Amino acid sequence: MAKVTFEKDLCKGCGLCVAACPKGILELSRDEINQKGHHPAQMTDQSKCIACAFCATMCPDCVITVEK
């Protein structure tokens, strides 16, 4: 199973990873705010992740790590 981790305190909430996910399982947190004052990206269902790494590729700040 794939493991996706986010460095939430570095995320600026741009949403590029959310748009890039072919499974639609990423979202910007509605109830969490990081140290920079942004709503960070988060995974909604880890079990549906196919480890394509499109999210990590699109992230301009390299805050996403995808492991197979």
What is the tens place of the pLDDT at every residue in 30-51? 999 999 999 999 999 999 999 9
Q: How confident is the model at residue 26 (pLDDT cuts 50, 70, 90)?
A: very high
Burial class for 27, CB neighbours closer than 10 Å (0-12, 13-18, 19+)? middle
Spatial CA neighbour of 17 closest among 68, 50, 67, 60: 60
- Is the whole model's pTM more than 0.75, yes or no? yes
Q: What are phi and psi of 6, to 5 degrees?
A: -120, 135
Q: In the chain, what percentage of residues exceed pLDDT 70?
A: 100
Calpha distance 40→59 (Å, rounded)? 12
Calpha distance 5→35 (Å, rounded)? 17
Structural domains of the chain ordered from first start: 3-67 (3.30.70.20)
> What pLDDT is stored for residue 49 in this prediction?
96
> What pLDDT is stored for residue 68 in this prediction?
87
